[in-house]
Chains A and B, each alone.
Chain A
């Protein structure tokens, strides 16, 4: 051991470190931007319970299973749970946040165009976890 020169290994480790610094910096920057909630975001309270989702809009309207929103607006979800942990997920919009009893977790999104998307639970929550699904309906802007 030790007779051969080790510079290829140092070079290789240097490249990995450089790559990791780059990945980390990019991730830090993107996450920082993504987490910045617009001031005019409308609040929707999302309640998770075994095994369905319910929603309450700012104006007091309540919905179960299906959530209606408008394209072009920003929404902030305040996610709570009535029993065990769940995870609120709209995969198409990379919305993912755990619903933890005793806590209010927030995440926001701004749907850009009208359409229908799946809502699902991504944290194991028991018997019907696999079927804890809902629908997101993004409607054309009203004005």
Chain B
């Protein structure tokens, strides 16, 4: 394993490198930077909503731009790149190959992200992360909207290039002695999520182009004034983005599959059921996209079909939870920071899924749809499950990246504060949804229960904010001044049947 920060190198050497761990490091730094940028936007939103009436933002347009860029940033510039960071570091090592299959393509895929991100941030569009027409055609102010469209186009292509690279690396470059069944679950998670990307993204890529030409006035695909159908866009969009939510969550589950057995000092309960559940999730993820559109005027039959498709994904998600619990059962668990984040993430994953089932049941969705319930639901996944799994993994890989240990106490405090904060924010948002508070609103009427709910949520968000400052300090301080790590067993877990980290540098001589 390359110890980037232990052996100082000029920055340009890392930037122009095509080596998988260097690209991994670039992905890691970029994603952490955007985690903080996007997080600051979230804190601004929560501060604004602390009281009814305008607080710190002068007008609703600015607010609308902030939540649009917040969502876009954390999905495309934090979650996806942070998964790529982990994949770049570990997939080649786990399949025992010297690098990714196409190192130059790997570098290109990474370097498409900064310009894509810059377009999103410099434009600061307001049409929400799903850019629904006809608003996005006739009402959303340019050039922000056009910059967002181009930015997403670039980010989408980067995603597809990265996915192709992972698929080829795993399928074609794995060590000839290795069967597919021997590939660790973390690498499997990248194989499966990459396959979803390749199938799902082109639809949205097409929709983006159609949206752009609609905005230019040369076509009317989604513009009813020109005979187009705005609902068609919603189908194209969700055909990409429902599967995409599994693209986001599957690598995070893969990371937990790496951490849970190691810190339970027990092999995974059933690797084959883990693989099976991944593949099943990938397949059924394509059967449920229109559960986001129950209220768009679909027929009873259509709604029923998509409800069944949605409920069909639940057993596969449940199998992962079972696998984690069965692995920990009777294990000699060592509660260090990475393990705490994983366990917390699993708990929130479970509660998020339970809420998802309520959304899926059509009559209930008319209560929850487009309220804060949905905001709470998907944040339990994107923050509670994915960010938790990923942050735990960042702690886990910290010694391998830097050669030093992070500060364990700060790591634990970070977890405890974030966990409390997440419950305060996202459970309360579910309640606010049941009370009828719509999402994406700059201001709300003075309904006492709404005020209290918003204040609890805002306090929770501030607690997460504080914990993240501790995280940042820990990362920066420990990578420069942390205790040197015992690179063979940094967490003192002992045992020999775990993944041999020494074998991770076959190419290093």
Contact = CB atoms under 8 A, between A and B. Distances in A.
Q: Do A and B bind each other?
A: yes
Contacts, number: 152
Contacts of B442: 129-130
Interface in A13-70: 13, 16-17, 20, 23-24, 26-28, 30-32, 34-35, 50
Interface in B220-257: 224-225, 229-231
A26 B296 contact: no
B203 interface: no
A100 interface: yes
A84 B322 contact: no
A125 B135 CA distance: 7
B443 A24 contact: no
Nearest to A99: B297
Contacts of B295: 87, 96-98
Indicate the size class of the contact surface on chain A: 35 or more
A123 interface: yes
Nearest to B128: A124
B29 interface: no
Interface in A85-117: 85, 87, 89, 91-92, 94-98, 100-103, 105
Given A1-B271, A31-B363, A123 B315 contact: no
Contacts of A34: 363
Contact of A127 (B61, B128, B224, B297): B61
Main secondary structure of the interface of A (DSSP, over half): mixed
Contact of B135 (A16, A28, A84): A84
A1 to B, nearest CB: 5
A97 B293 CA distance: 10
Contacts of B231: 100, 103
A89 B437 CA distance: 11
Interface stretch (B95-103, B300-308, B483-491): B300-308
Contacts of B417: none
Nearest to A11: B322
Contacts of A35: 300
Contact of B369 (A9, A20, A122): A122
Contacts of B61: 127
Interface of A: 1-2, 4, 6, 8-9, 12-13, 16-17, 20, 23-24, 26-28, 30-32, 34-35, 50, 83-85, 87, 89, 91-92, 94-98, 100-103, 105, 118, 120-131, 133
Q: Top 6 closest A-B pairs, CB basis?
A: A102-B224, A91-B436, A130-B441, A27-B361, A105-B297, A84-B135
